[in-house]
Amino acid sequence: MSSAPWRTRGPARGHQRSPSDSQAFKERTKRDALADLEHELARISLTAEDFEKQAIEQQNEGFKKLFERFIEGSGSSFNWDKIQKLPDDAIKDYDALPEPASEEIKALLSKLVVVKLNGGLGTSMGCHGPKSVISVRNGLTFLDLTVQQIEALNKQYGSNVPLVLMNSFNTNEDTHKIIKKYKGIDIEIHTFNQSCFPRIDKESLLPIAKHSKINEDLDAWYPPGHGDFYESFHKSGLLEVFLKQGREYCFISNIDNLGATVDLKILRLVLEKSNEMEFLMEVTDKTRADVKGGTLIQYENKLRLLEIAQVPKEHTEDFKSVKTFKYFNTNNLWIKLSAIDRVLREDALDMEIIVNAKTFENGLNVIQLETAVGAAMKTFNGSSGIHVPRSRFLPVKKTSDLMLVMSNLYTLRNGSLTMSPERMFPTTPLVKLGDSHFSKVKDFLNRFPTIPDLLELDHLTISGDVTFGRKVTLKGTVIIIANQGERIDLPSGTILENKIVSGNMRIMDH
């Protein structure tokens, strides 16, 4: 019987190798993985045009550093048992902050830069292009409302607060076309692009990209989370520009958070404490709707952001507990510009890596390595949280959120939404809309010719093929369920209070 082709013929004595111990094996695998990755990245950069080579190589360097930290295992470095109780002074009290005097507001605003994270697409809500151009109220988009807010602020106080948009390769081109319409508005708008990194095959740990032509193979690339803000902001040259202008703090928030307006009380606080507070994170009370949101913890005697992706599976329920972790991160951050500059110059930026796994339709499993902008708080001196009202967190992630902000729960003035004084409760209703009929904006709008009166609503669940007439009023707890193959059409003028509506239009008390 012939031997296998990879075996040596004859006695194997003298050719045997003692198996390497597991630690040595792991080290060798890491070295191999990094060397293979470097080789692939070099191959990809060879396909770039001369004018883009430098930018591609710079991005490859950034990805290589991230990948190296990932294979070294410094991605998720939390030991659950070492989480400490938050110190009493870790969370500032918003309600205790004084209002700034009117004569000092212009000087305060001269120190501020507003940054909106604008890298996301509206695909999860069935829309094409940047999420920031989805119409959310009175035909106005997220971007329109943001511009209106800052325009109103500058007009009222005679200031010149600049707006900075961090785009991704997904949103950059469309955003540049859209912001042309603001030319006649007296507001300074800057944009910069965050990095574009290659997705890697989960098995081989090699990039799935075959060339550097991103637009020809969008699935092979991804924007690496908003933690990329620091490096990309610096590379854009904007950090240096604003420091030379005498700006001191940036206020960063997600563009889809309609509650993240410039708060003068918080601005006054950070400027007053600028020597001891380089980083301030707004946190608010957890509800059942946001148990997955990142939370603040004390770890190794430093304030840290803990995301659900970093929690061991056996502790997921502990993490979601409103009693154990009663606050969550709104991703509204106030960060000192000179501190960002110092941290980058010292190469001291340290953020946990979030490994985001995805499966393509063809079954290919890929991972993308991401970081969160708030996770850098441990790198800055005097990082703190501040407990803000729920009104500072009004994100629109789903059509259920869109329903709330389009409703009579809010009034709109100068781009800012405020809860109607007619609402008896400070919290918003919990709304759950069935994915198959309501998840896309177009379908959602077809089923609601006008948004119902929600002023007295506590909880709404809708499932199945349900359509509303005009001027419907919902109060208390309302559950509407159309069974498979059935349809419910609520007539115009319907008033439902604590009712369950089932497939054959039976209405029962809840």
Which residue's entry shows tokens 């001291």? 348
Q: Are 464 and 422 in contact (CB under 8 A)?
A: no
Q: Which two tokens stand for residue 396?
A: 């629109």
Residues making up the binding site for UTP: 131, 194, 225, 256, 397
Q: Which two tokens stand for residue 233?
A: 């902001």
- State the Cα–Cα distance between residues 426 and 394, nearest whole angstrom: 13
- Find the distance separating the first CA and the last CA of the chain, reported in whole Å: 79
For 392, which DSSP code?
Answer: G
E strands present in 82-237: 83-84, 91-93, 112-118, 135-137, 140-141, 163-167, 189-193, 197-198, 200-201, 221-222
Q: How far apart are CA 418 and CA 261, in angstroms?
A: 11
333/99 Cα distance (integer angstroms):
19
Catalytic residues: 397
How many other CB atoms are there within 10 angstroms of residue 203's CB atom?
A: 9
Question: What residues does 473 pair with on adjacent strands?
Answer: 453, 495
Report the C-alpha gap between 442 and 393 in whole angstroms: 25
- Joined together, the tokens standing for residue 343 give 């941290």
Question: φ and ψ at 45, to 5 degrees?
Answer: -65, -25
Residue in 236, 18, 147 with CA at minimum distance from that of residue 414: 147
Rounded Cα distance, 119 and 221, in Å: 13
CA pair distance 319, 312, nearest whole angstrom: 10
Q: How many residues does the chain have?
A: 510
Short-list 351, 119, 362, 122, CA closest to 220: 362
Q: What's the rounded Cα separation, in Å, for the pair 196 and 67? A: 14
